[in-house]
Chain A
């Protein structure tokens, strides 16, 4: 079953409106972004200055009733809300943010490399790639540097995704021009289109698009037709699995499921399933017992028949 994701929503009241819009459009998971943008490198303070990271903000308060802008039919269950940290890195010292203990409280971590130096360090060191999940650019401007296929392939092997934010294309004609050109370039460079993700990054609710329209937009960019649906569904889900490994594991060991998790899920279904299972087991046990008894019964009968024959012959 398809479950569309949108992993870039701004914080604050604008983000709240956008989240409600995405709910009506049928999205199942949503990520609220806290941005960390730092001033460029100062040679004097670069070694000692460690940028601080705020903790994840307040979650969205869902309005289940009727409100003037949102009277459209939607599902009863609102989408799942995740927290996301977005670091715009203009120098190498900005990447120290990723090692901060506060960063571990976020579900998804993304980096926006503004210079080629940062991009090279991100692709070359395998240790860094365990600290973040996505690379994303603001596509209303042209890409800041030329991307090589080999570097992108290395990122693909490590499970890092590349994000396309489409809301810039919905603002004006110049924005649309830049968005189309840079996203087409990205789709050319990224050979494996399972590495790409589409998300909104919208500042107002009318910049969002529905999942069906997004797959059509992906076709326009140049992604093969049979993989257009994957950008918002499977690829994003794959990213969340990778990020879960980052937060829940320690030195490659994954934590098991807790007992509470099972209890939280719908009890009635579990009980019914358990009852069915138990019934099935009991039935099989009974049948086995019967099958065991029958041959033994046969033997007894045979033995008795033989014994009666012997007795008759003796007589």
Chain B
């Protein structure tokens, strides 16, 4: 039996500076702060038990956030009104909202493939294109070893 329904947000973070110091816990804190700022203590109390940042990639600036399905609209509104993250001005964009984390991951894979193709097509030289492919293969081999 399912204990409680959740909603998973696939978010993309736009920022002028790099967000390499951002961690999952600090991101959760920033989101909770924005909820408290916009919806008060009641909103904070509704969300705090179920809110969790499940996945964060600081290189591609993507994250997956979980929340109880009753309050997912509140979270979505708080995310659109969020202005700063880790002390830097930023903007969040929702790519996908789903009931399971698996469909979010599928969507993220599709998006990353698009991202790679886009950068590959626009690179100026053949040398840099080969460089990107080499890096990609190295990363893939590392993953296989870990598996």
Contacts and interface: CB of A to CB of B under 8 A. Distances in A.
B115 A73 contact: yes
Contacts of A209: 80, 91, 93
Contacts of A210: 93-94
B129 to A, nearest CB: 12
B122 A65 contact: yes
Given A72-B14, A72-B118, A74-B118, 11 more contacts: A65-B122, A73-B111, A206-B14, A206-B91, A207-B91, A209-B91, A213-B80, A213-B92, A216-B77, A216-B80, A217-B77
B77 to A, nearest CB: 5
Given A206-B90, A213-B93, A213-B94, A169 B16 contact: no
A170 B83 contact: yes
A71 interface: yes
SS of A interface (majority): helix
10 contacts: A65-B124, A66-B122, A73-B114, A74-B118, A170-B83, A207-B91, A209-B80, A213-B80, A216-B80, A220-B77
Contacts of A104: none
Interface of B: 12, 14-16, 37-38, 73, 76-77, 79-81, 83, 89-94, 111, 114-115, 117-119, 122-124
Contacts, number: 59
A206 B115 contact: no
Given A66-B123, A169-B81, A219 B93 contact: no
Nearest to B61: A72
**Candidate in A21, A25, A176, A210 with the most chain B CB atoms within 10 angstroms:** A210
A102 to B, nearest CB: 36
Nearest to A171: B83
A179 to B, nearest CB: 10
Contacts of A207: 91
